Amino acid sequence: MNYDSRNYPRKEPGYRDIKERLSDYDEVEKSLSEEEIKTQASRCLDCGTPFCHGYACPLGNLIPETNQLVKEGLYKDALELLTSTHQFPEFTARICPALCEGSCVLSINEEAVTIRQIEKMIVEKGYEQGWIKPRIPLKRHKEHLAVIGSGPAGLAAADCLNQKGYNVTVYEKNAHPGGLLLYGIPNFKLDKKIVRRRINLMKEEGITFECDVKVGVDISFNYLKKRFTAVILAGGTQQPRDLDIPGRSLKGIYFATEYLKAQNREIINETGGVPEELNASGKNVTIIGGGDTGSDCIGTALRQGAKKVYQLEIMPRFPLCRSDHNPWPEWPRIDRISSSHQEGGFRYWSVRTTSFEGNKKGEVKKLHCIEVDWINEKGKYIPVDSKNSSFIIEAELVLLAMGFLGPGPDPFADMLRLERAINGSIKIDEKHMTSVPGIFSAGDMARGQSLVVRAIADGKAAAEDIDNIITSGSMALLKGYR
């Protein structure tokens, strides 16, 4: 076999047939066969200076080395190498934008190696073959540690501390652990069974999950102080950006996260159906915000049976390929067509919504919109309304998907008066410690809205910082808390 990348173009698994996938909520992406994955791994150039792991991957995954093992069919070794840096490859293998692929050296002249697909094959083979099994620590330390929040950051912190032999309790305000992996990201991108499989493993490994507990409301700081040596706050970004325009208080206008959560709760059998007001069935739906969360709303609304779906973005459309200002190895800021976009809906760019209009019952019926031109004013681009470009979109359901403003008011953080950064996130030092000794923070709560892979890296780093403090006998750093 000639392992020259020019002989083997990049191959992606593609998606299930649109008609079929719109009739269910199952994962839409298919998988490549083992042979195809081996061929794809053989496209890796095994670069002297690989940008995929050193520059791009927040976890520092040893990608060329893993690819080499896959190419040789040494899947168990590949799994060991992958999991030496990455605790939950099954999540990122499905939903990571693959920062690594954006900086793959091969992508300078050709298409990048399908690193995410290779990761998916390795981890799924690991489960299939029983290579991934509970790793119960042989020795337990006396210290008990608490993690607040069970999204990817909290799970990574809990896993890391548990593997180091600490007694770990995770508190979660929702009924089940998983954070946005469970309640935010749609099932058609990340099947909830995949999340549950990992959580069950973590339970078997000795981690305690206490759900339906809102820390700061149901349990106090004093309670935590008595039970735990230190606490990691990984509460995510809970405050979505709002749109303060006339008509905002009309019925039928919701935040995207509320809408997606309702569908996910239905999928995990937490409810007996999506509430009527959050169900797109038979409705015209408009999503304000052109990002990934907006795209997740499109796929969900189409599956619920929406009449028409529109997605509005105030920014102009990205170019189809890298601009001169966005060279390799930077993440390519290019227009992407998600699986949901393929399924339907209408997308508009450079559009601003000026007001919502309702009926006598106070229900939203229309959006008043206008096109904008982006003008360079003293080096800063600003949107200016374009003349005679206003238009109306009919909608009975409007979803706001315009990003997040940090954690927002948080009962625990506010009770402790934790210092905030300018963007509203929890301020942390280089050891992930907040302004209160003994309280650490990780993930979106401390970094701002980001990605699953970064949340995992942050959670793990915060756990390692706590372990270093305890094992190096620097407990004085926790003074004030203890």
Ligand X SMILES: Cc1cc2nc3c(=O)[nH]c(=O)nc-3n(C[C@H](O)[C@H](O)[C@H](O)COP(=O)(O)OP(=O)(O)OC[C@H]3O[C@@H](n4cnc5c(N)ncnc54)[C@H](O)[C@@H]3O)c2cc1C
Q: Candidates 61-69, 231-239, 351-359, 363-371: pick the segment binding ligand X (CB under 6 A).
A: 231-239
Q: Please name the residues in contact with 280: beta carbons below 8 A apart, sequence gap of 6 or more.
A: 300, 301, 304, 305, 306, 309, 397
Applying CB under 6 A, among 50, 58, 179, 299 the residue interacting with ligand X is 179
Q: Which two tokens stand for residue 216?
A: 């700061």
- Nearer CB in complex with ligand X: 442/477: 442
Applying CB under 6 A, among 216, 247, 252, 299 the residue interacting with ligand X is 216
Q: Candidates 1-9, 107-115, 208-216, 244-252: pick the segment binding ligand X (CB under 6 A).
A: 208-216
Q: What is the dihedral of CA 82, 83, 89, 92, to 10 degrees?
A: -70
Footprint of ligand X on residues 180-199 (CB under 6 A)? Answer: 180, 184-185, 189
Distance in Å, CB of 414 to ligand X, minimum: 10
- Taking the mean position of all CA atoms in its chain, how far away is CA 222? 32
Footprint of ligand X on residues 423-452 (CB under 6 A)? Answer: 443-445, 450-452
Distance in Å, CB of 305 to ligand X, minimum: 20
Q: Considering the rule CB under 6 A, would residue 214 count as an interface residue with ligand X?
A: yes
- Nearer CB in complex with ligand X: 174/279: 174
Q: Which residues of 51-63 are buried (b: 16+ CB within 10 A; e: fewer)?
A: bbbeebbbbebbb
Distance CA 202, CA 162 (A): 9
Q: Which two tokens stand for residue 91?
A: 């999540």
Applying CB under 6 A, among 101, 143, 172, 467 the residue interacting with ligand X is 172
Distance in Å, CB of 409 to ligand X, minimum: 10
Could you give phi then psi for residue 105, rounded to 5 degrees? -60, -35
Q: Considering the rule CB under 6 A, would residue 95 count as an interface residue with ligand X?
A: yes
Applying CB under 6 A, among 64, 149, 299, 448 the residue interacting with ligand X is 149
- By residue count, the chain amounts to 482
Using CB under 6 A as the binding criterion, the count of chain residues that bind ligand X stands at: 39
Q: Please name the residues in contact with 199: beta carbons below 8 A apart, sequence gap of 6 or more.
A: 150, 155, 176, 177, 178, 209
Nearest to 366 by CA among 351, 374, 355: 355
Question: Which residues in this chain contact ligand X in the complex, by CB under 6 A?
Answer: 95-96, 148-154, 171-174, 179-180, 184-185, 189, 214-216, 234-236, 257, 260, 292-293, 296, 411-412, 443-445, 450-453, 455
